[in-house]
Structure 1
Amino acid sequence: MAGSDKLNRPLFDLDSLRALVMVADCGSFTTAAARLHSTQSTVSQKVRRLEEMVGHRLLERGNRDVLPTDAGQTLLGYARHMLAFNDEMFEAMSGATVAVTVRLGVPEDFVAGRTTHLLSAFNRKHPQVKLEVTSGLCRDLSSGYDNGELDLILVKQRRNSREAVASWPEKLQWIDSASNPTFELDPIPLVTFPPRGLYRDDMINAIERMGRRWRISFTSSSLSGIQAAVADGMGVSLLPQRAVTADHRVLTKNNGLPTIDAMEVVIIHRPSADVMVKELAGVLAQSLACQY
């Protein structure tokens, strides 16, 4: 019952407390009203409501000034604390002291280099923002986003698979080893991401349309693993153009391989995302627009 009584107690209005403090500090309802950009009658009403709430007279009009009563002095002490806490709370919630966490998901081939420099610059501009970056397969990043584990994702997907805030076509290249080519082998060894991984089905379908036999020679969920396997002569693969290195030989239509243009790079976040999430998405979009 005691807890219920406390819950039912009336709450002090901060505007009324501010009016009481201002009148006490100024010693005048008229001067207090002017400083509060209000009217004398409004200020008087706020003080009167406080008096009715606490059941005590709080201010006395003297010969020259308005002075607090003993009850008024007691309430003024609490009022000043409450107003100070209110100001501190407002400053904490609106200023640079608020710690914001942005959970970003990006594919492995976007983690290093230009993206890292971009994230570093963003962090210097917003030191209160904590960046939690997750890298991995796009399907896992999309799943993490759908499960609420990520706020913002930069992923590769089949064109128009899901709505995005920005998108760019992803240019892909067929690659073989520059030193130990394997394309002429029968069956063609393929270096791929795991089942349901990007480009895997496109590779297999393209090879079958050529009438060639194929086999999976190497599978890895790591982009660097795929790159190294191809460079070392373990098979042919299909990767984004930016992932091609000097250790690779690019295969083209002259080799009978089709152009694969079914993929796109997208940025996705929720409409209700935090302003920092949206700003970071804009920074990423600006950078990608220059690359694509």
Structure 2
Amino acid sequence: MLDLELLKTLVCVVDEGSFTRAANRVHRTQSTVSQQVRKLEQSVGKTLLLRDRAGGNVSATEDGELMLVYARRLLAIAGEAEHVLLAPRAARVLRLGVPEDFDVSRLTVLLAGFAARHPDARLETISGMSAGLRDGLASGELDLALVKREPGDGPCLAAWPERLIWVGDRQRARDAAVVPLVLFPQGCIYRKRMIYALESAGRPWHIAYHSHSLAGVQAAVAAGLGVSLLPAFARLDSHGLLDAEDGFAAVPSTELAIVGDQRALSPVEQDLVAALKQAIGDATGDLAA
């Protein structure tokens, strides 16, 4: 194997045309520079430099000229490799879609662990309705997404059942001739479940409050503005639990799924999926209990 330090010395001596000037340039003694050149010559079994004893000048032999071509190339490649490895690397951006009504605080601890394991990755969390998140995956705007959906609605990387419960003020809900609903936007699967259940039971209803965020819906229910349908984990202590005796029959569970292309996942994305599985899996007692 050729020693890069010896090649660097050879190039320096030829460029300077003198062992003395080369020694000054690399801050070494002339004897050290001469020894390095001789060591390189012994290594390749060729005389690489001619020394003018009278004038002290040095020139390359024919073999030396050939060696110089490769020496400069090898040194350039080594310098390039060092520059690339030492330069700050561009962050790998991972785009994760999360439903508007999802409690992101459940993920923060494990996502922080993911970030610590992958300092070169930058995680962007984008919230939206599940239908929009699916569109984002299809267009390549998202790498992974958590979506609320009907159970078994297409392939996924992991899925968990999500038990839904009616919440609101029990007395007001029983006395109301027209049920006041606190709803998420159009396209939300909880909204569809609520309206279908009340229509099937023949109960009139009206929209009392509308919010894109889980926190907004929770606050509206707590304030007594109306009734809503939420995943079990999202019920607050201030929410009354409504059941069939109050005129609100149980509704089928929905599903929380991690969606993405398993075949195209990079190792970093696979680790993110594992973190999501752990974060959501730890909460399945609340989701499905």
TM-score normalised over the length of structure 2: 0.72
The one of 153, 164, 169 aligned to 1:172:
164
User: How far apart, CA to CA, are the structure 2 residues paired with 1:210 and 1:110?
Assistant: 28
CA contact 1:100–1:129 (8 Å) conserved in 2: yes
CA contact 1:231–1:247 (8 Å) conserved in 2: yes
Identity among equivalent pairs (%): 32
What does residue range 226-265 of structure 1 map to in structure 2 within 5 Å? 226-265=217-256
The change in CA–CA distance for 1:213 and 1:111 in structure 2 (over 3 A counts) is closer
Give the match's secondary structure for 2:113: helix
The one of 194, 210, 214 aligned to 2:185:
194
Give yes or no for the alignment of 1:159 onto 2:151.
yes
Give yes or no for the alignment of 1:286 onto 2:281.
no
User: How far apart, CA to CA, are the structure 2 residues paired with 1:166 and 1:233?
Assistant: 36
The change in CA–CA distance for 1:248 and 1:206 in structure 2 (over 3 A counts) is same
For CA contacts below 8 A with separation 6 or more, give which structure has more relative contact order: 2
Q: Which is further off, 246-255 or 68-77?
A: 68-77
The change in CA–CA distance for 1:60 and 1:117 in structure 2 (over 3 A counts) is same
Paired position in structure 2 for 1:218: 209
Give the match's secondary structure for 1:103: strand
User: How far apart, CA to CA, are the structure 2 residues paired with 1:105 and 1:190?
Assistant: 27
CA contact 1:174–1:251 (8 Å) conserved in 2: yes
Give the match's secondary structure for 1:113: helix
The change in CA–CA distance for 1:288 and 1:87 in structure 2 (over 3 A counts) is same
CA contact 2:164–2:253 (8 Å) conserved in 1: no
Q: How far apart are residue 273 of structure 1 and its match?
A: 2.1
CA contact 2:163–2:253 (8 Å) conserved in 1: no
The change in CA–CA distance for 1:25 and 1:184 in structure 2 (over 3 A counts) is farther
Residue type of the alignment partner of 1:103:
R
Q: CA RMSD in A?
A: 3.3
Q: How far apart are residue 242 of structure 1 and its match?
A: 1.2
**Gaps in structure 1 of 5+ consecutive residues:** 1-14, 31-58
Residue type of the alignment partner of 1:78:
R
CA contact 1:188–1:213 (8 Å) conserved in 2: yes
Give yes or no for the alignment of 1:115 onto 2:107.
yes
Q: How far apart are residue 291 of structure 1 and its match?
A: 1.3
User: How far apart, CA to CA, are the structure 1 residues paired with 2:128 and 2:234?
Assistant: 15
Paired position in structure 1 for 2:260: 269
Q: How far apart are residue 156 of structure 1 and its match?
A: 1.2
Give the match's secondary structure for 2:282: helix
Aligned residues: 242
Paired position in structure 2 for 1:102: 94
CA contact 1:106–1:155 (8 Å) conserved in 2: yes
Give the match's secondary structure for 1:132: strand
The change in CA–CA distance for 1:282 and 1:26 in structure 2 (over 3 A counts) is farther
User: How far apart, CA to CA, are the structure 2 residues paired with 1:177 and 1:68?
Assistant: 94
Give yes or no for the alignment of 1:72 onto 2:72.
no
Residue type of the alignment partner of 2:157:
V
User: How far apart, CA to CA, are the structure 1 residues paired with 2:281 and 2:220?
Assistant: 31
Q: How far apart are residue 26 of structure 1 and its match?
A: 6.9
- Residues 209-260 of structure 1: CA deviation (Å, up to 9, x unaligned): 2221112222221211211222222211101111111221111132232222
* Structure of greater Rg: 2
Give yes or no for the alignment of 1:82 onto 2:72.
no
**Gaps in structure 2 of 5+ consecutive residues:** 8-38, 50-60, 285-289
User: How far apart, CA to CA, are the structure 1 residues paired with 2:103 and 2:83?
Assistant: 39
Give yes or no for the alignment of 1:148 onto 2:146.
no
